[in-house]
Structure 1
Amino acid sequence: MDRLDAMRVFTRVVERRSFTLAAQDAGLPRSTVTDAVQQLEARLGVRLLQRTTRHVSPTLDGEAYYRRCLVLLADLEEAEGAFAGTKPKGPLRVEVQGTLARHFLLPGLPGFFAAYPEIELIMSEGDRWIDVVREGVDCVLRYGSLPDSDMVARRVALLERLTCAAPAYLDRFGMPTDPAALDGHRMIGLRSSTTGILRPLEFIEGGVSRMVTLPATLSVTGPESYLPSARLGLGIAQVPRFHAEADLARGTLVHLLPDCPPAPAPVSLLYPRNRQLTPRVRVFLDWAVREFAANNRVTASA
């Protein structure tokens, strides 16, 4: 293994905190990864990693070397990508919320792979807040407001949202005429999977945001249960328009209070601040912006 490949292996071991996981990511035997790190340590004359039976972590020298490696490897990839006809290649690990993936990304993937046939996209689904570096992910696509973090966030789109309920719910509780008339109504609670906080309903009236929390007989943490609960008449829900359009067309959901919609929700692509934006992530970001723009009524990239 040459020096650059050994540096790539070493950075993966540091990020994954595991020789085994780094070997799986690289498609190499674990023994090869172990030998590569040992040869680096012998060449540099320092110990780069602290090893125990359950944990691998960088020493102070290892942390410094890791950061140098990130810069060098990113510069190399950027330099190689600058030549005409050279396209990004290699594995790209992305985590995305499943609903976003199915509606906005999956339909366009044949075109993405036609343009970048040597990129191997490894896409996992989830909506929890993850340690991107520790879990070996290159970037994350997230819907909604973002918590404070040391990640770089790039806006991909704004998704229009609406308020809705099932006809059976409206037969029981009546059609609200404005947010002030919601006394006696119920909402389906949507709880943050990371904080457990119940998200209130939001209404924009005259350019001012008004938050309303109604009693919630049921609360859930994911869109896969949230929208079906609304269809069953269990309460009022607020969802991205794309998620409810089929139900609105069928009449299984009714659009409520259209003059007081919730604010659009951002979709953001996040990646670690200590990494440069690699060509693989850059082309994925540019492609994702185009896919959202082509399939969404309210789009704003930055």
Structure 2
Amino acid sequence: MLSLRIATASVLFLILLLAIWAGPLWFAGVMAIAFGLALYEWLRIGNLGPVPAALISAIEMITQFSLYWAGALPKMDWFLFIVDGVVMIAWFVIFFLELFHRENGFKVNVFQCLLSAVVFVPAAYLSFLWLNEQGTWVLVLSVMLIIWGADICAYFCGRAWGKHKLCPAISPKKTWEGVIGAYVIVIVFFLLCYWFCDQKVVFTNFIFERAGFGWGVVILAILIALSIAGDLFESMLKRLAGIKDSSNLLPGHGGFFDRMDSSMPVIPAATWMMLAVLLF
């Protein structure tokens, strides 16, 4: 299983490198496919048939990609600011419900599942493209490192010291110790990055520089919380649907939604925070 996971990750990494090398339009196209497949899997979890799920996913992603290709993105700052603000508030509500119902879970009906899919995924993709335009793939990678760092650190800290369950009715393996470990390690890492790395397009460096040290730590803490919210929400959807993985499209990893669940709230929130700094 480990060798299969490594092989799949290696192929994905190679495709990503080739897309970055080929240029922004190719990079945007490859990521449109990835986000489109995540949207398809999300819709299928909501019990939508394969044909309408594929059709909706294709229409949404082609529309978003076409806007990017047509050069509309630089004119969409205020639109993104409003949309991402609404999406971020929605994710905060979801996180509150997850924690409030941590012992017994809470129901998400089919309409709520489908609506969240068709809103959250395109918002995340369009925000992803905006970040890439602002600071190339380096800025995107620095945001993704927050997500990946929180996930990996929570996993290993939870395995090493985890005793108190975070949301046992939603994701029994996640612990408060894992969350605390993720917060400590990720925040310390990005503080060191700020002190020793002079790269201005790193997301946290930009936030620390423009918003101040205190607000920078608060923003980073919020993004870590949202990454956990996204992970928990997919776990809850899969639990309600009675499935283990969103699909088997990625051997050893499950589906694209499995790999991108934490990105759905974090990317729009990071974009909103950058826009708030730039617009005001």
Higher strand share: 1
- TM-score for both structures, normalised by structure 2: 0.29
Higher helix share: 2
Greater Rg by CA: 1
